[in-house]
Chain A
Amino acid sequence: MPSVTRILRRNISSITTLLIGVFVFASIPGQIAVFDSGDMNPVTARTLPYMITSAIIVISLIMIVSDVVETFRSGADHSATEQKETTRYWRVFLAAAAIALWIILLPYLGFNITTILLVASIMIIIGNCRWWQIALLSLILSVPINYLLGIVLRVYLPSGSLFG
C-alpha cells in the first residue's frame, strides 16, 4: 500500500501547478480591472486569464487523481522502482545563490569585481579546476569583456557606487 507521503512527493509538480493556478485565479479580480464597454465587447480583459487558470486547475487535478487511481489500482508504489538520478542539488542551489548575489552586489561593487567573484565561485562549485585557471578565466571574463562591450556595443556596465 503506497503511503500518503510518497503519493504527495510523486505529485509535487502537479500540486504546485494546482496551487499556482488557484492563486492566480483568486488574484484576477484584484489584478485586472474591468471597464463597462456595453454590448460592444462581450469578452473582457479577465476572460482569457480565467479560462487559462481554470484549465490549469482542471488538468492539474486530473493529473493528480489519475496518478492516485493508477497507484491504488496497480497496488504497487512506482517510486520505489524508479531509477534514482544522481543530481547534486546543492551545487545548483549554490550557483543560483551566486547569481542572485551578483545581481544584488552589481550596483555597489561594479561589473568587474562582482564578475570575478561570480566566475570564481561557479568554478569552485563545479570543481575539477586549478587555481590559476580560476584566476585567469575570472579576469578574462570581467575587465576585457566590460571594455569590449563599451567599445563595440556601447553597453556601459555598472562601475559600482562604492567606487564613485
Chain B
Amino acid sequence: MIENFFYAINVVFQWQNIILIIVGTAVGMVFGALPGLTVTLAVTLVLPFTFDLPPESGIILLTGVYCAGTYAGSISAILINTPGTPSSAATAWDGYPLTRKGRSFEALSVALHASVLGGLISAVALIFFAPMLAKTALAFGPVERFALTFFGLTIISRVGGKSLSKGFISALFGLLIASVGVDPIMGVPRFSFNTFYLYGGVGMIEVFIGIFAIAEIFNQIGKRVETGIIATDGTQMKTIRWKEIIPHYWTVIKSSVIGIVIGVIPGTGGSIASFIAYDEAKRSSKEPEKFGKGSLEGIAASESANNGVTAATLIPTLTLGIPGNTVAAIFLGALLIHGLTPGPQLFVNQGGLMYTIMISFILANIVMYFQGRFALKWFDKIINIPAAILLPIILTMCLLGAFTISNSLNSVIVALIFGCVGYAMIKFEYPTAPMVIAIILGPMVEESMRQSLILSDGSVMIFLTRPISLVFFVLTVFVTLSPVVIRHWRQRSISAVSQHQKTTDENLKGKK
C-alpha cells in the first residue's frame, strides 16, 4: 500500500500531469459555470483527447475537469440565478439573493471554500474506504457479481428519473446496445447486420458524445436561449477570504459527510446530496429564517455536499465496477479504453494507478482553489458568452472528438444517431444515465450470468442459495416494489382522510 501511495505521489507531481490538471480544472470551471453545459458534457468532450495519454495522465485530466466542473456550477447560480449544474440548484436559493444585496463575493467565497473542503474530505474518504471495500469485494464470484450488477442497474433505473418504467426501459435499451458485437462466451456475432464496424460493438465513447453532448446541443438549439443578466452588485469586497467559511465549519463537515454517503450509493448524485444537506443545515441552523433569503450557511451546505459526492462516487466505481453516476460511468469507460477492468482486482494489479486517481482528487481541489480565486473576477464575462458562439464551438469539438476515436466517419455517424436518440430521450423524459451505465455494465452482467449458469448446470436457484447474492436480490425486489407500495399506501391514506372528512362534515350538517 505504502509503495503504491508513493508511486502515486511521484506520478501526480510530474510536471506534465500538473499541467494536465491545471488545464482540466480550467476546462471544467468554464463548462460548469456556463448555464446549460454540464460537467458530464465537459468530461465527455475531454475523454477522446485522453486516448493518446498514459492511463494515469488521462484520469488526472478527467479528475480536474470533474472537480472544477462540479464546483463552478455555483458561480452562475450565485451571479445570475441560473445553476451551471443541476447540483448547484440549492446554491442559487441563497446565492442570488446575496448578489442582489451586493454581497456576491461573500457568497462566491463561501462556495469556493466549501467546495474545496467538501472535495478534499471526499478524496480522503476515497483513499480510506475504497481499498477496504475492494478487499471485501475480492471474495465475489460470478454469482455475486451478477447479483451486484443487477442490483446496481435496478437502483440506477429507480432513481434516474421521474418514472421507474422509463428508467427500466432506458437500462434495457442500454443492455441491448451492449449486446451488439461479438458474444463474450461463444464468439458469435450479434446484431452486426453484416456490417464490419458493428462486429466490435457500438463504441462507448461515441455513445457518450451522442447522448450527453450532441443531444444537449440539440436541446439548447431547440430551446429559446436566454442569456443571464448579472444583478448590479456594488460590493465593496473583491477578494476571496477564508474567514467567510470559518463560522460554517461544522455545516461543511456535516454536509461533506452527507455528500460522501449519498455519493457511495449508485445512481444518486450531487443534486440529491446538496438538497439533503441544505435541508439538514436549515433544520439544525440557529437562523433557519435566513435560508432562501441569502444564507451563507445554506451555500456552504449545498456546495460542500455536492463536492463531497465527487470522489465518493468513485468508491463503488473503482472497487465494484458499479458507476455511482454518469461522470463515474465515463471514468469507468476511460479505464476500459485503456485496457483496465474496474473492480477489486484493479487494486491488486494496478494499485499504483488506483492511488494516482485518489491523490489526483486532492491535487485537483487544491488547483481548483487557486484557479477559483484567480478566475472569479472573469466569470461575469464568461457566463454571458452567447449561445450562438458557444454551441458551434462545442459541436465542432464533439465531431472532432468522435472522429479521433477511430479516425473514421463511422464513429461520427454513431455519435449523431445517439445524439438524436438522446434528444428524443430528453423530450420524452427518459433518463439517459441508466442507458449509459447499462452499456458499460452490459458485458459484465452477461458474462457473470452465463458463468453462474454454467456452474449450476442452468439452474437459476444458484442466485438464491448464495447469501451475498440473495441479499442483493432481496434488495433489488425491495427497490423495485417499494415505490409502488408507498404510492398505494399514500393513496389509501389520502382516501381514508377524505372519507373521514366527508363523514365529519355530514355529521356536522345533521347536528345543525
Return the CB mask of A52-73 against B: 1 if under 8 Å, else 0. 1101100110110000000000
Whether the pair A39, B457 counts as a contact (CB closer than 8 A) is yes
How distant is the Cα of A33 from the Cα of B188 in the complex, in angstroms?
7
Q: A149 interface residue, CB < 8 Å from B?
A: yes
Chain A residues in 8 Å Cβ range of B166:
63
Whether the pair A126, B52 counts as a contact (CB closer than 8 A) is no
Q: A44 interface residue, CB < 8 Å from B?
A: yes
Q: Smallest Cβ distance from A14 to chain B, in angstroms?
A: 8
Q: B288 interface residue, CB < 8 Å from A?
A: no
Q: A135 interface residue, CB < 8 Å from B?
A: no
Q: B199 interface residue, CB < 8 Å from A?
A: no
Given contact pairs A55-B168, A59-B172, A125 touches B400 in the complex (Cβ within 8 A) = no
Contact among A37, A59, A87, A103 for B412, CB-based, below 8 A:
A103
Whether the pair B193, A31 counts as a contact (CB closer than 8 A) is yes
Q: Give the number of residues in B that approach A within 8 Å (Cβ atoms).
A: 61
Q: Smallest Cβ distance from A156 to chain B, in angstroms?
A: 8
Whether the pair A92, B222 counts as a contact (CB closer than 8 A) is yes
Interface of B (DSSP majority class): helix
Q: A113 interface residue, CB < 8 Å from B?
A: no
Within 8 A of A (CB), among B396-454: 396, 399-400, 403-404, 407, 409, 412-413, 416, 419-420, 423-424, 427-428, 430, 445-446, 449-450, 453-454
Q: B221 interface residue, CB < 8 Å from A?
A: yes
Whether the pair B450, A43 counts as a contact (CB closer than 8 A) is yes
Q: A132 interface residue, CB < 8 Å from B?
A: no
Interface of A (DSSP majority class): helix
How distant is the Cα of A64 from the Cα of B154 in the complex, in angstroms?
21
Whether the pair B396, A56 counts as a contact (CB closer than 8 A) is no
Q: A89 interface residue, CB < 8 Å from B?
A: yes
Q: A79 interface residue, CB < 8 Å from B?
A: no
How distant is the Cα of A157 from the Cα of B445 in the complex, in angstroms?
37
Q: A95 interface residue, CB < 8 Å from B?
A: yes
Whether the pair A145, B457 counts as a contact (CB closer than 8 A) is no
How distant is the Cα of A92 from the Cα of B223 in the complex, in angstroms?
9
Within 8 A of A (CB), among B201-231: 214, 217-218, 221-225
Q: Smallest Cβ distance from A138 to chain B, in angstroms?
A: 8
Whether the pair A62, B218 counts as a contact (CB closer than 8 A) is no
Whether the pair B396, A126 counts as a contact (CB closer than 8 A) is no
Within 8 A of A (CB), among B456-475: 457-458
How distant is the Cα of A99 from the Cα of B210 in the complex, in angstroms?
12
Whether the pair A56, B173 counts as a contact (CB closer than 8 A) is yes
The stretch among B64-72, B108-116, B387-395 that forms the contact with chain A is B387-395
Whether the pair B388, A32 counts as a contact (CB closer than 8 A) is no
- A–B Cβ pairs within 8 angstroms, 18 of them: A13-B424, A31-B190, A43-B453, A44-B186, A45-B186, A56-B169, A56-B172, A59-B168, A59-B169, A59-B172, A63-B166, A87-B222, A107-B409, A119-B396, A123-B389, A127-B388, A145-B400, A154-B52
Question: What 9 new A-B contacts, CB under 8 Å, besides A17-B173, A31-B191, A96-B419?
Answer: A42-B454, A55-B168, A59-B165, A89-B222, A122-B395, A123-B388, A129-B388, A129-B389, A133-B388
